[in-house]
Structure 1
Amino acid sequence: MPDMKHMVATCVTFRTYFRKKLPGLPPDRDVEFRIDLIPGTAPCLKKAIRMAPDELKELKIQLQEQLDKGFIRPSSSPWGCPALFVEKKDRGGKRLCVDYGPLNAITVKNKYPIPHIDICSIGRAKVFSKIDLRSGYYRIKIEKKTYQKRFLDRIWLV
């Protein structure tokens, strides 16, 4: 089994990657996230899913946090997909998710094979870890042409 001191030293070396809160938008990089649509596709708009009052309250809190950090912005886009919550298993709380199924249905599919992760490849491993990638999808910037396609549909009537 790996030396515990070595494991701790490795975690300390990379501690900046294990932040409790993200500082804001990621730095500019050569790669941006892009969504390519099937030619001739019209914008998709799926109605919001009904939520209980406590879920609406939590949604407002989480959306405000994302607005404050610059991760999301107000939009009048003709695109929209419904938001929903799933329970976090380990620490409790609610994880905000967006059902992008309608958008996925009209997206050009990648034509390269995805490698199979075989359990045999980790057969000799001595240490396994599990991490919660805290809002990891916010670490790659979205191409400007793609902005309008990535919106959840929620209109506040209050």
Structure 2
Amino acid sequence: MYYDLKERFWWYGMKRAVADYQASLKKSPFEVLYGKRCRTPLSWNQTGEKQVVGPDIIQDAEQQLRIVEENLRVVQSRQRSYADVRRRDLSFKVDDHAYLKVSPMRDIRRSNIKGKLALRYIEPFKILEKKGEVAYRLELPPSLSGVHDMFHVSQLKKCLRVPEEQAPLEGLDVQEDLTYTEHPVKILDTPERSTRNKRIKMCLVQWTHYTKAEATW
């Protein structure tokens, strides 16, 4: 199923999502679609499978559909319970301040990166308007003119007190999708690690918007 879908479209984490979906069915995709197990060349000559015709086909198809729907309903309920544990009610008032969530996009792939020190929120910004129950309009500076000023509440973090020192926006090229790219600035060290059969050269890299103490391998 994964490779058939991958030829048409792809998204991050697709292989895991397809595997979870197929596991929740508790049946193979062939069995769900045709109501019987897929025969291999070794079982083509086996007998014992009854021929289903007429109303029996509809009845069996409806029964298979009910089983699949029930399995999916159980999995969805379980995933919802996991999400509800970490979900919190968050609301703002006009003239409140909130931090805006951003996502770092580094231009090279690195190994053993935790990402805990990456910049996750910027400013805070003043809330100008509330739209519905979960949307808010922020007062953005000219440097973020390319970003739409209406955000879902999940993109915001409550600011209890407006700090004097704010996350700087100078030199931070925030895109319309609220991502920014980090670039390597300097290689601080190039030690070598010995394995059983070869020697591996490593690099300690300092990135933009980070100090030498925050450099990573």
Q: TM-score normalised to the size of structure 1?
A: 0.28
Q: Which structure has the higher relative contact order (CA within 8 Å, separation 6+)?
A: 1
Which protein is richer in strand relative to its size? 2
Which structure's CA Rg is the greater one? 2
